[in-house]
Amino acid sequence: MRFSFLFFTLFCTRPLLASADKASPDISHLMTNLVLQVALIVIAARVVGIIFSRYLKQPKVLGELVAGIIIGPYLLGSITLPLLKQPLFPKTETLLPVSPELYGLAVIASIVLLFLAGLETDLPTFLRYSFMGSMVGIGGVILSFFLGDMISVLLLPNVNSFMSPTALFMGTLSTATSVGITARILSEKRKMSSPEGVTILAGAVLDDVLGIVLLAVVVGISKIGSKGASIDWGGIAVIALKAFGFWLVCTVLGIIFAKRLSKGLKWLRSNDAIACVAFGLALFLAGLAEMAGLAMIIGAYIMGLSLSQTDISNELRERLDGVYQFLVPIFFCVMGMMVNFSAMKGIVLFGLVFTALAIIGKLLGCGLPAFIMGFNLRGAFRVGAGMLPRGEVTLIVASIGLAAGAIGQDMFGVAIMALLVASVIAPPLLIKSFKGGNGLRNKISVKEKDEGCHIELEFPSVRITEFICSRILKAFRNEEFFACKLNFEDNIYQIKKENISITLLLKGKIIEFNTAAENKQIVSLILLEEIIELKDLFEGIHKLKSPDLMCKELASGLFSEEKKK
**CATH number of domain containing 368:** 1.20.1530.20
Q: How many C-beta neighbours within 10 Å does residue 410 have? A: 19
CB 489 within 8 A of CB 422: no
398, 433, 468 - which closes a domain: 433
Q: How many C-beta neighbours within 10 Å does residue 2 have? A: 6
Please tell me the least confidently modeled range out of 35-49, 81-95, 137-151, 353-367: 81-95
Please tell me the least confidently modeled range out of 55-69, 73-87, 482-496: 482-496
Boundaries of domain holding 378: 110-433
Across 344-363, average pLDDT: 86
What are the CA-CA distances from residue 381 to residues 173, 194, 371, 376, 506 (Å)? 22, 14, 9, 9, 37
pLDDT at 7 over 60: no
**Residue 47, pLDDT score:** 94
Please tell me the least confidently modeled range out of 42-51, 173-182, 268-277: 173-182
Residue 189 in domain: yes
pLDDT at 169 over 80: yes
Residue 364 in domain: yes
Percent above pLDDT 70 for the chain: 77
Across 396-412, average pLDDT: 78
Please tell me the least confidently modeled range out of 88-102, 225-239, 402-416: 225-239
CB 428 within 8 A of CB 365: no
Q: Which of 32-36, 84-88, 217-221 has the highest mean pLDDT?
A: 32-36
**Residue 259, pLDDT score:** 85
**Residue 391, pLDDT score:** 62
pLDDT at 78 over 50: yes
Percent above pLDDT 90 for the chain: 10
Question: Is 210 or 353 the better-scoring residue by pLDDT?
Answer: 353
CB 278 within 8 A of CB 231: no
CATH code (residue 533): 3.30.310.10
Residue 359 in domain: yes
pLDDT at 181 over 80: no
Residue 519 in domain: yes
CB 212 within 8 A of CB 204: no
Question: Is 4 or 526 the better-scoring residue by pLDDT?
Answer: 526
> Are 272 and 421 within one domain?
yes
pLDDT at 335 over 70: yes
**Residue 227, pLDDT score:** 58
Across 529-537, average pLDDT: 82
Residues 484-513 have pLDDT tens digits of: 776 545 677 878 887 788 888 888 888 888
87, 102, 125 - which closes a domain: 87
> Are 395 and 506 within one domain?
no
- In whole angstroms, what is the distance from residue 481 CA to residue 24 CA? 49
pLDDT at 544 over 70: no
**Residue 8, pLDDT score:** 34
- In whole angstroms, what is the distance from residue 104 CA to residue 98 CA? 10
Cα torsion for 85, 91, 96, 99, to the nearest 10°?
-10
Eight-state DSSP code of residue 62: H
CB 137 within 8 A of CB 152: no
Residue 556 in domain: no
- The domain total for the chain is 3
Provide the CB-side half-sphere exposure for 87 (13 A, CA).
16
pLDDT at 1 over 70: no
> Are 191 and 259 within one domain?
yes
> Are 368 and 309 within one domain?
yes
**Residue 41, pLDDT score:** 94
Length reported for the chain = 565
Q: What Rg, from alpha-carbon coordinates, does the chain have?
A: 28
Which residue, among 197, 141, 181, has the nearest Cα to 424 in the 3D structure? 181
Q: What angle (nearest 5°) sits at the alpha carbon of residue 388, between those of residues 383 and 394?
A: 140
**Residue 39, pLDDT score:** 93
**Residue 14, pLDDT score:** 43
> Are 231 and 349 within one domain?
yes
> Are 39 and 123 within one domain?
no
pTM beyond 0.85: no
Residue 262 in domain: yes
pLDDT at 122 over 70: no
> Are 417 and 507 within one domain?
no
Residue 536 CB partners (closer than 8 Å, separation 6+) = none
Looking at every residue in the chain, the average pLDDT score rounds to 77
Q: How many C-beta neighbours within 10 Å does residue 390 have? A: 29
Q: Which of 237-246, 448-457, 476-485 has the highest mean pLDDT?
A: 476-485
pLDDT at 116 over 90: no
Across 261-268, average pLDDT: 89
**Residue 213, pLDDT score:** 72
> Are 35 and 161 within one domain?
no
pLDDT at 280 over 90: yes
- In whole angstroms, what is the distance from residue 513 CA to residue 503 CA? 6
> Are 473 and 393 within one domain?
no
Across 247-255, average pLDDT: 82
CB 94 within 8 A of CB 101: no
29, 56, 87 - which closes a domain: 87
CB 296 within 8 A of CB 103: no
- Furthest C-alpha separation in the chain: 96
Q: Which of 62-66, 298-302, 369-373 has the highest mean pLDDT?
A: 369-373
> Are 70 and 210 within one domain?
no
Confidence class for position 19, pLDDT limits 50, 70, 90? very low
> Are 464 and 410 within one domain?
no
Handedness of CA 523, 127, 388, 321 (dihedral sign): positive
Confidence class for position 21, pLDDT limits 50, 70, 90? very low
Helix then strand count (H, E) for the chain reads: 21, 7
- In whole angstroms, what is the distance from residue 100 CA to residue 249 CA? 33
> Are 188 and 285 within one domain?
yes
Residue 530 in domain: yes
pLDDT at 445 over 50: no
CB 391 within 8 A of CB 412: no
Residue 444 in domain: no
Residues 182-201 have pLDDT tens digits of: 665 665 566 766 777 778 87
